Each structure stands twice: as C-alpha cells, then as structure tokens.
Amino acid sequence: MSEYIEVVGKIISVLPGTMFRVELPNKHVVLAHISGKLRKNFIKLMIGDTVKMEMSPQDLQKARIIFRMKNVETPKNAPIRSFGPNRHR
C-alpha cells in the first residue's frame, strides 16, 4: 500500500484532456489530472480555483486532484445558479 502526500494548490492553466497546471504555495508547479469521483460528478474546475491534491513521494511532478475547495473571494449574496436572461423560474 503506497502513501500519498496531500497538498493544496491553485490552478494556473487548463490543458487538454482534463489536465491542469497547479501552483503549490512554495511556487512549485505540478501537472495534475482530475480523479474519477470529480469527473463522475461533473465538478467544473477553472483557473484560480483552489484544489486539494494527492502526490506520490516518488514523483513530485505529477498529482491527482481530489477536491475543489470553496473559494472565499466569492461574494455571499451572489446567486447560486444562473439560468440566463430568458428563463424564469
């Protein structure tokens, strides 16, 4: 059974094939991909999102994104979902 290192980082670029470049707090940049649970539940990731990742101690250049953290800079009174200007509920 292998051990993983859990780290937190910020997405700095989106690459094709559900790959992302993520910057760690120590300014190290890693290549990360989405875990199956996030892909299955259609969790959308964008530039600037803070994510929790798992890294193997053997390869510190790659990681797996396992959780998208709530961003604190979103305003509290922002709408949860927007249906566009033509759709009324």
Instruction: Kindly report, residue by residue over 26-72, the tens digit of the pLDDT.
Output: 999 999 999 999 889 988 999 999 999 999 999 999 999 999 997 65
Question: Is 74 inside any structural domain?
Answer: no
Question: Is 88 inside any structural domain?
Answer: no
Tally of domains in the chain? 1
Question: Is 79 inside any structural domain?
Answer: no
Q: Determine the pLDDT at residue 4.
A: 92
**Residue where the block lists tokens 């199956």:** 36
Question: Is 45 inside any structural domain?
Answer: yes
Question: Is 84 inside any structural domain?
Answer: no
pLDDT at 88 over 90: no
Q: Choose among 32, 40, 53, 45: nearest CA to 71.
A: 45
- Structural domain range at position 10: 5-68
Amino acid at 20: F
Q: Determine the pLDDT at residue 33.
A: 95
Amino acid at 89: R
The pTM of the full predicted model, rounded to 2 decimals, is: 0.74
Q: How far apart are CA 70 and CA 78, in angstroms?
A: 14
Give the mean pLDDT of 12-26: 93
Q: How far apart are CA 78 and CA 13, in angstroms?
A: 25
| CATH assignment at residue 50 | 2.40.50.140
